Structure 1
């Protein structure tokens, strides 16, 4: 694949970046978008970037909800974004946790942040220009995963996500 056919990507953490972190969120009825989140995704789309979500979902491993609940919430998010003219190119999540009470999810997985597996797998599946890509996260483990994947990591803690994304894209 030629370098010119590659596109930059924004890897969004989910809880604490796109939505308020309510702790083990899996229900659309409890989901609250972060200020400017839908506009931020639309800005990423219009700028020609891939938009990805990479999220740890240990609530599955802890037995709080099922993988099907995560998938249902992500479909709902996609519908909400589509209504605003935005889209996510791929949703990735890791349900595993090394101390999980549910045995099949009890493992130290390469996809669980701070490890870079979700990011690197997306970069293998899509023609991502890593030198122009970045991750937006709200925790140090998100930034660690970005560094391990060879991309920039940006810390988002508060404010309007669209304003944050606009500034981040202009930093290139």
Structure 2
């Protein structure tokens, strides 16, 4: 069984920018790459799970998102970090257009993307985590049977008030590697 860290993308791996979909606008969060390298060295693998309501709203296409995610994955590979898969939810229950306006199991806080990854990659849920900057990320992890960790990047500082005492909290991905060294 695999030890996996499920990662939200925007505000966790990269700097939060509204409806990010162009590589030239992509910037890694401070310590994101270093943190992923350290987590890899602790034996973790990675799956990205990201809500992308910009697709539902018609701001960009699924292909735009796939291109950006592929470039992110290639950049991380240059640092020795492999992403097993990038799952995304293109739906929004209220603001979606056409078939993207939907209530679904994949949109966090629902655990659909995580459950799919858990099954496909034979994930050891007892020793795996969900990491994100929003309560919906943490709740999705909990619903999937994972321990969740809030990062204070992105919307994390705002989210901290809502979740303090319920979830583990770390400054960034590098700080998570330090936290998980202590848990082991």
The two structures have a TM-score, normalised by structure 1, of: 0.92
Deviations for 1:109-136, whole angstroms, at most 9, x for unmatched residues?
1010000000000000012110011111
Describe the superposition over 1:139-172 as per-residue Cα deviations: whole angstroms up to 9, x where unpaired: 1111110110011111111344212233235323
1:86 is displaced (CA, Å) by 1.2
Contact 1:11/1:134, CA 8 A, preserved across alignment: yes
RMSD: 1.3
Q: Deviations over 1:59-80 (max 9, x none)?
A: 0000000000110001100111
Aligned residue runs from structure 1 range 89-108, under 5 A: 89-108=84-103
- Tell me the distance in 1 between the aligned counterparts of 2:140 and 2:121: 18
Residues 91 and 104, structure 2, Cα contact 8 Å, conserved in 1: yes
Q: In structure 1, list runs of 5 or more residues that go unmatched.
A: 1-5
Quick check: 1:123 aligned with 2:135?
Answer: no
CA distance in structure 1 between the partners assigned to 2:120 and 2:5 by the alignment:
15
Matched, 1:18 2:18: no
Residue number in structure 1 paired with 2:56: 61
Q: CA contact under 8 A between 1:56 and 1:95: conserved in structure 2? A: yes
- CA shift for structure 1 position 103: 1.0
Match of 1:162 among 165, 170, 174: 174
Distance 2:8 2:96 in 1: 24
2:144 paired with 1:149? yes
Report the alpha carbon displacement of residue 107 of structure 1 after superposing the two structures with TM: 0.5
Shift, 1:82, TM fit: 1.2
Encode CA deviations 1:36-90: one digit per residue, 9 max, x unaligned.
1112222232322220100000000000000001100011001111111211111
- Scaled by the length of structure 2, the TM-score of the pair is 0.86
